Chains A and B, each alone.
Chain A
Amino acid sequence: MTHVTALQPGRTGVLAGQGWAETLTGVVAGLSWLLAAIAAVAFEDIGDWLETENYAIAVGVIGVAIVAVALANRWLPRAGAWVLRAGPWLIALGLFQVVWQLAAAKFGWVPQPFFPPAQGIIEVYTFEYDELATHFLASFRLLVVGFTIGAAVGFVIGVSIGWSTKAGYWVHPVLRFIGPLPATSLLPIVFFAFPTSWSASIFLIALAAGFPVAVLTWSGVANVNTAYYDVARTLGVRPLGLIFKVAIPAALPNVFVGLFMALGAAFTALTVAELVGVKAGVGFYIQWSQGWASYANVYAALILLALLCSGSITLLFRTRDRLLSWQKGLVKW
């Protein structure tokens, strides 16, 4: 009978349960990353990759660090909480790397060069970082300039047709006719109508981004509760003030929906413009690498593109959360 009672967790055991769960999750996560490191060094590469050793060291160090944080979580409450929350993801990522390593680099379960191993992609970053940076900055500039112009013009058009019936009379039919056209379908015209492929790309991105911003700003301004205008007018707010102090702030939630859609449209226009037009940018780099069948470079560039797009959306949502903090129940990103 004594050993049965010994197996039952004591009071302290129950209280410390949380700590043990963290430790266990963290240790397993660390071990899965160490397993990936072992998989990288235990077998011979079937291809000619230069970063296998560095990859194994990096993954191994990360694995050891995760185990260390897990064991020390009593003294590092915040790191401990992070390990508990991210633990299942860390385990999954570690195991994925084991399978990826074995399948791509060691036993050739997936065809090369279409599915390069992690060290193949890392090699692109370590050997071609300056070229990648150039292309990344080119894309970044196109996106920022094109999106800013498109959003600004779209916003001004949206406010003016929402506010003035005369502006609406002239702009609305144009917007209805041209707006829904995918910006990329204008490619053949745009690239000879503009002096440089760069300005043509800016135009395409701005056009793609401008339409959703214009439409949503317009509907936001047009749907402002008229009682707001009545109150503002009796308090002595003049027409210009009605636009800037009432119409625009009231339409802002709509404007941000438009900006969100505009970003998506801008990404599409950006990659298409780069694939067919400009001779710099992540999209161009992807196309060019594919021509050389260097798929590791394609993946490396895709990861950068994903960071650019996801980063832009995060930035937009952060801005919105700050500007619209007066609203209830915002979607978290």
Chain B
Amino acid sequence: MVALEQPREPIASTGASLDIDNVSHAFDLDGSLLRVLDSVSLKVEPGEFVALLGPSGCGKSTLLRLIAGLEPPRSGALRENGEPITGPHPSRVVVFQDPTLFPWRTVWNNVALGPEAQGSLKRQRERVDATIGLVGLTQFAKAYPHQLSGGMAQRVALARALVNDPAVMILDEPLGKLDSLTRLTMQSELVSLWRSKGFTAILVTHDVEEALFLSTRVVVFSERPARVKADFKVDLPYPRHRGDPRLAELRRESLALLGLAASW
């Protein structure tokens, strides 16, 4: 369906390390303080694929916004490769749950926005073409977002992120709104992309199976304000098989950590 590169053995990692050091964050809500993150500390190695699991509204997405540099934390520090994160940077791109494509730009121009903003579009035109090809949408390069299906739009959003050659890919439930078949296909595509590019990936998801199928490590958060409740490795080789008994076992453990043991 999609012309992805054949999954190879992980290449030498180009990903960055992330250091989340005792970060707390809160929002002002009609005068009262809503605490969303409570002393969260997390070290992410270069090239890791970390999935963040937790109850709805616990503050996972807020943590991603802080990593992206879209907001500064109330206290604590965030570092990329040891450098403090002070604002957004194209080395840390975000793919949101909504594709958020710019409707007035064609697929090509959406993907080209990063290089355009950094003033390198003239040198990177072929790279834009190649990235659109990578997500299998060469024929739709001239289409406008309203002409795309949900899955195609999210692929464009992925391409728009990938074209910047990010060191950290921040994925905020990127497959959350897709139908289940498209979702399964794109999970495999994400793994292949990550394995071929070697970036560090941080994924927020509500889907325990998705987290276990994709990631090398799962971090489970508590109710708001979010604290790290559990942090474990998913020590299974890629490409993974959805029917793997070890996955089922990990899934049961994860659901128990999320307080859903009764349903199993």
A328 touches B160 (CB 8 A): no
| Residue B146 interfacial (CB < 8 Å) | yes
User: Residue of B at shortest CB range from A246?
Assistant: B102
A236 touches B90 (CB 8 A): yes
User: Residue of B at shortest CB range from A230?
Assistant: B70
Minimum Cβ distance to chain A for residue B167 (Å): 13
B96 touches A236 (CB 8 A): no
Contacts of A225 in B (CB 8 A): 100
Contacts of B144 in A (CB 8 A): 326
A-B contacts counted at CB < 8 A amount to 69
Contacts of A250 in B (CB 8 A): 102, 104
Chain B binder among A22-30, A75-83, A237-245, A308-316: A237-245
Contacts of A249 in B (CB 8 A): 102, 104
In angstroms, Cα B117 to Cα A246, docked, is 12
| Residue A327 interfacial (CB < 8 Å) | yes
Those of B86-111 within 8 Å (CB) of chain A: 87-90, 92-94, 96, 98, 100, 102-106
Those of B140-165 within 8 Å (CB) of chain A: 144-146, 160, 164
Contacts of B69 in A (CB 8 A): 234
Those of A217-233 within 8 Å (CB) of chain B: 225, 227-228, 230-233
A227 touches B96 (CB 8 A): yes
Which of A231, A245, A327 neighbours the largest number of chain B CB atoms within 10 Å of its CB? A231
A234 touches B90 (CB 8 A): yes
Interface size on A, residues (CB 8 A): 22
A235 touches B100 (CB 8 A): no
Which of A236, A245, A252 neighbours the largest number of chain B CB atoms within 10 Å of its CB? A236
In angstroms, Cα B100 to Cα A327, docked, is 15
Contacts of A326 in B (CB 8 A): 103-106, 144-146
Chain B contact residues: helix, strand, loop or mixed: loop
Instruction: State which size class the interface on B falls in.
Output: 20 to 34
B104 touches A232 (CB 8 A): no
| Residue B118 interfacial (CB < 8 Å) | yes
B100 touches A227 (CB 8 A): yes
| Chain B 146-189 interface mask (CB, 8 Å, partner A; 1/0) | 10000000000000100010000010000000000000000000
| Residue B113 interfacial (CB < 8 Å) | yes
In angstroms, Cα B114 to Cα A249, docked, is 17
In angstroms, Cα B103 to Cα A238, docked, is 20
A228-B102, A232-B113, A234-B90 known; A328 vs B146 contact (CB < 8 Å): yes
A250-B104, A326-B144 known; A236 vs B70 contact (CB < 8 Å): no
In angstroms, Cα B90 to Cα A235, docked, is 5
| Residue B68 interfacial (CB < 8 Å) | yes
Minimum Cβ distance to chain B for residue A324 (Å): 8
Those of A51-101 within 8 Å (CB) of chain B: none
Tell me the A residues contacting B by CB distance below 8 Å. 225, 227-228, 230-238, 241, 245-246, 249-250, 252, 324, 326-328
Tell me the B residues contacting A by CB distance below 8 Å. 65, 68-70, 87-90, 92-94, 96, 98, 100, 102-106, 113-114, 117-118, 144-146, 160, 164, 170
Given contacts A228-B100, A234-B93, 20 further A-B contacts (CB under 8 A): A225-B100, A227-B100, A230-B70, A230-B96, A231-B102, A232-B113, A232-B117, A233-B87, A234-B70, A234-B89, A234-B94, A235-B90, A235-B93, A235-B164, A236-B89, A236-B114, A238-B117, A250-B104, A324-B104, A326-B103
